[in-house]
Amino acid sequence: MSRSTGDRRSIAQLIRIGLDRTEPVVEWIIRLCGWSAILFVAAIFFFVFREGAPVLFSGGGSESAAVADAEPSYFSLGEFLSSPNWRPDSEKRPQYGIVALLAGTMSVTVLAMLLAVPLGLGAAVYVSEFSGPRIRETLKIVIELLAAIPSVVWGFIGYMAIGPIIISLTGAPVGLNVLNGAIILALMSVPVIVSVGEDALRAVPDSYREAAIALGASRWEVVYRVLFPAAKSGLLAAVLLGVGRAIGETMAVLMATGHAVQIPHSPLDPVRTLTATIASELGEAVRGDEHYRVLFLIGIVLFAIAFVVNLTADVIVKGIRGEQND
């Protein structure tokens, strides 16, 4: 009996010694995992670029010269960036211009932000400045749940619920249009705006509020005259992150904006966005042909937009934290 406990102890000690011996190894594994984020971001760029870039350089846009000879190249970077014609399946001459798709993305995003920014910032102000602790917690949980609803469900809601409502209210011929996508995207990006905006407002030192109240300002005046100017970069970051979320959103806009490649003239026009184009056409494109590579090129464009937006937002937020530490 005593022998067995002695054995057990020695086994436990052995394990402990083993764990301690392996400490350098474990630390290296931890380091590697820590660096993995950089690795993955680089890998995303590399692999998307690897699939898409050949079309930029080789003219044929294919791996072998034979295929390139068989399929003449129609791609040119100038047309890609300046033409509103997106006709990848054209028999005569495929055209790859992303201007209309970009216009689709921008129109939906801008309209979504027009809806989401006032609402989101208003809700952030309410949660941070006006509500009691209990309501604050409840609202934050609801907003968190709002953020958790998957994008395909949002798309479904747009497709099934909001589309018919738009048709019956406006008399538009199709319910899947810019407005529909914008409403969905607004609801999707609001949680980001609220939580980041609330953080920005809470980051304003209480002494600012106290000073303003001591001067006789009402709560609303504190918000309008003191908090907004003091937290403006944080609020800007909140809006930027909302924009980033809206631009990158795929399934919701795929289902809710209709499928017309065109530059929209009214909120009731159907459009197609960059993300929706990739999602709906990659399945049909053959690996290695021009269409396939151009879709990856759109991916690079999206990656670049998201990169710039997130970087800017992050720099702004970090800037605020730095100021406060000083």
Partner 1 sequence: MTEHHSDRLEYFISASAPNAGDGSIERPWRSFNDALEAIGCDESGAFDATSSHREYEFVFLSGPAASFQPPARAQHQFYVNVDQHVGGGDGSELTPWSGLTAAIDGLKSLSDEGRLKPKAGECVRLSHRQVFSSTSVEQKKERRETIARYTFLGMAMMLVLPVVAILSYLFLQAWPALGPTFFFDNPRQGMTEGGIWAPLIGTFFLVLTSLVIAAPIGILAGVYLNEYAGDNWFTRIVHLAVVNLAGVPSIVHGLFGVGAFVYFANMNRSLLAASCTVAVMTLPVIITSTKEALAAVPVSFREACWNLGASRWQTIRTIVLPNSFTGILTGVILQVSRAAGETAPILFTGAVFFVPIPDSGVESLVPYGLSDRFMALSYHLWTVSTQVQNVPKSVQFGTAVVLIGLVLAVNSLSIGARVYLRSRKKW
> By CB under 8 A, is residue 27 in contact with partner 1?
yes
Q: Which of 12, 43, 66, 169 binds partner 1 (CB under 8 A)?
A: 43
Give the range of 1-9, 24-32, 71-79, 264-272 binding partner 1 by CB under 8 A: 24-32
Give the range of 67-75, 78-86, 95-103, 246-254 binding partner 1 by CB under 8 A: 246-254
Residue type, 226: V
> By CB under 8 A, is residue 29 in contact with partner 1?
yes
> By CB under 8 A, is residue 190 in contact with partner 1?
yes
Cβ–Cβ under 8 Å, residues 87 and 81 = no
> By CB under 8 A, is residue 99 in contact with partner 1?
no
CA–CA distance, 154 with 152 (Å, rounded to integer): 5
Residue type, 105: T
> By CB under 8 A, is residue 66 in contact with partner 1?
no
CA–CA distance, 245 with 257 (Å, rounded to integer): 16
Give the range of 77-85, 86-94, 228-236, 277-285 binding partner 1 by CB under 8 A: 277-285
> By CB under 8 A, is residue 167 in contact with partner 1?
no
At 96 the three-state DSSP class reads strand
> By CB under 8 A, is residue 160 in contact with partner 1?
yes
> By CB under 8 A, is residue 230 in contact with partner 1?
no
Ramachandran angles phi, psi of 134, nearest 5°: -70, -50
At 106 the three-state DSSP class reads helix
* 126 or 208: CB nearest partner 1: 126
CB contact burial 299-326 (16+ within 10 A = b; e otherwise): bbbbbebeeebeebbeebbeebeeeeee
Q: Which of 76, 203, 282, 289 binds partner 1 (CB under 8 A)?
A: 282
